[in-house]
Chains A and B, each alone.
Chain A
Amino acid sequence: NAGVTQTPKFQVLKTGQSMTLQCAQDMNHEYMSWYRQDPGMGLRLIHYSVGAGITDQGEVPNGYNVSRSTTEDFPLRLLSAAPSQTSVYFCASRPGTDIYNEQFFGPGTRLTVL
């Protein structure tokens, strides 16, 4: 199993550009989520999904869009990038929706917005 994979690893954008961060998992996990990590802030939940076709907002959803058309993929779209979105983005998945299950994290995407 590849686990949770994320592409790209690094990305530089200009203010106003849009892009999609890709996330895929091959463990048939129902639950997937996106976090952003900023220094001194820990991880903050952006969006999550409890299954194909079902998504919901997390703590910091503004400026981001998600969809879940398959169990495997959960892309994160930046609609119009802003410098405040400079961060490291992590995708995670876990089996089922039980909150005591371990979450598996991808290696992260480091995004810089100029």
Chain B
Amino acid sequence: AQSVTQLGSHVSVSEGALVLLRCNYSSSVPPYLFWYVQYPNQGLQLLLKYTSAATLVKGINGFEAEFKKSETSFHLTKPSAHMSDAAEYFCAVSGGSNYKLTFGKGTLLTVNP
């Protein structure tokens, strides 16, 4: 079984400030981990993914995430927030022989001018 916990349903930052969105996972097998972003009234699009090649993963729009096995975490960061980063962010995990992707409940990021 696998699960994802996103700490903080709503994060608010100022433009130019560091963005940190937290994700912890639980998986009985080596996991694959994903971050997706959803802009208002749109579907989800992939930001980045961890597939065991490298623990620090770089994605689109300046985002990156670090896989920390000892902490079972996959936190998403961006050094400097931009107004266009305002969206909902979902962490997801998959693993094992099943085909399923399990999503966290999402974190809404607000960027203040």
Chain A interface (Cβ < 8 Å from any Cβ of B): 4, 31, 33, 35, 40-45, 48, 50, 58-59, 90, 92, 97, 99-100, 102-103, 105-108
Contacts and interface: CB of A to CB of B under 8 A. Distances in A.
Interface residues of B, number: 24
B105 interface: yes
Chain B interface, DSSP helix/strand/loop, else mixed: loop
A43 B100 contact: no
B101 A45 contact: yes
Contacts of A48: 99-100
Given A44-B103, A58-B100, 17 more contacts: A4-B43, A40-B9, A43-B44, A48-B100, A50-B99, A90-B43, A90-B44, A92-B44, A97-B99, A100-B51, A100-B94, A102-B49, A105-B36, A105-B45, A106-B43, A107-B43, A108-B41
Contacts of B34: 102
